[in-house]
Amino acid sequence: MAQKVSRKKSYPDLHGIVLLDKPKGISSNQALQKVRHLFQAKKAGHTGNLDPMATGLLPCCFGDATKVAHLLINSDKTYIARCVLGKQTDTGDATGKTVAEHVVTALSDEEIKAATQRFTGEIEQIPPMYSALNHNGQRLYKLARQGKEVERPARKVTVHSFKMIDNAANYIDFEIRVSKGTYIRTLLEDFAKDCGTVAHMSALHRTQSGIISGQHMKTLDELQALNNRSQYIMPMDAVLIEYPRILLTKQQSQDLIHGKVVGHQGKQGLYRLYDDDHRFLGLGTVDQQQLKVKRLFLKSYLAIKNKSAIS
């Protein structure tokens, strides 16, 4: 009797980033896996979680690009958020149960502007119970679902910009740019409390992550319809342009690949490294006129180098 042979799928070795407009109703990981399946990538990761109810920019990293994901996760984010006045929920958003109601009194543009200014800059924020933070080894949201509430220390976050873009009868739309770790729903609850009412967040759409704009992001349907999806994969160094560039000689490239240190007269800091043919090699740090490797992306580098040699 012939034995059944198990065959693993052979996926191409892709390296780069796809900008997804995440749909509402699925988790960030579910969205990532859909994109990974479309591109048939071996290795994939995303750069900053969006709740299932949230939409917008979710950079999906393939291959070596997963090694720069932490730089994007730690970057500032920009959102469009809808603040619905008069009702507070246990989750802080539209998915939760109503826990408080208040007669809706329209806020003037001047009142809104004054309140947002009080929440602009470095502020202290108490994380919500419905969050993925840990408390004694348990996720806060799991405790919240059991009806438990624990004390959460306030954390310092930075609200770079808090601008009203629409003031309707019972809701206000904001464009908000914040540092890593800021909870927009908590910010909106605190804003409403400052204005003498209650509120919850009914929609959240991310438009920017660090230097990456959502201007050219695509939906799952749009990605599905692409004839040549590989052309939509951004090179990983495109999201690292905030770091200065160093063009290496052939010998310097070889030295760095083999773990050596090379001399460099530049300022101290993190740099993008390119070989003598302008191919992206990785990231390096300059300190005391010495250039050291921070992170090499050899798989993607060799793929580009071999492709160049063939063409």
- What amino acid positions are annotated as catalytic residues? 51
Side-chain-facing half-sphere of 32: CA atoms under 13 Å: 19
**Whether the Cβ atoms of residue 137 and residue 143 lie closer than 8 Å to each other:** no
Q: For residue 157, list its beta bridge partners.
A: 123
**Angle between helices 109-118 and 184-194 in degrees, nearest 10:** 120
Sign of CA dihedral 268, 272, 273, 277: negative
Strands 138-139 and 290-296: unpaired
| Closest-CA residue to 232 (of 240, 222, 242) | 222
Q: For residue 167, list its beta bridge partners.
A: 172
Cα 237 to Cα 68: distance, rounded to the nearest angstrom: 9
Cα 225 to Cα 11: distance, rounded to the nearest angstrom: 20
Phi, psi of 155 (to 5 degrees): -125, 145
Where do the H-state alpha helices sit in 75-183?
Answer: 109-118, 140-145
What one-character-per-residue DSSP string does 63-83 give? Answer: GGGGGGHHHHHTS-EEEEEEE
**Whether the Cβ atoms of residue 75 and residue 185 lie closer than 8 Å to each other:** no
